[in-house]
Amino acid sequence: MGYSTLVQFAYASDQISPDSARDLKSLGKALLSEKLATERFVVAGHTDATGSAAYNQTLSERRAASVVRFLSAQGVDPQRLQSEGRGERELLYRQNPAAPKNRRVEIIKLAR
């Protein structure tokens, strides 16, 4: 089962916004809880479809890495977080490929 964050990013940016930082702090606390402390997660970065596929792939990787760094700074063991970029391949809003909501990171719990 996945937990999809609403970590939003400005156009062409991998910087976490203050609003998203608050959400990620809460997520970090949850990941440190006894219930989730041994679980592993994929941190998947995404982009909108503006720009080249190669650029979007790299940007999505930077976004995922940014979230992993943030969560690690909150005390989450980075070995529990598998960072990957998915570029523009999995748009949330296919009807509007340039929609800002497509620029996100998803946290997905790995099966045991």
- Tens-digit pLDDT profile for residues 7-56: 889 999 999 999 899 999 999 999 999 999 999 999 999 999 999 999 99
Q: Are 110 and 42 spatial neighbours (Cβ–Cβ below 8 Å)?
A: yes
Mean pLDDT taken over the chain: 92
Q: How many CB atoms lie within 10 A of CB 41?
A: 22
User: Residue 112's pLDDT is what?
Assistant: 73
Q: Residue written as tokens 């400005």?
A: 10
User: Residue 48's pLDDT is what?
Assistant: 97
| Distant-in-sequence, close-in-space partners of 52: CB < 8 Å, separation ≥ 6 | none
User: Residue 6's pLDDT is what?
Assistant: 66
Structure tokens at 22: 């608050």
Alpha-carbon distance of 22 to 34, in angstroms, equals: 21
Q: Give the CA angle between residues 83, 67, 39 to the nearest 5°.
A: 60
User: Residue 1's pLDDT is what?
Assistant: 43
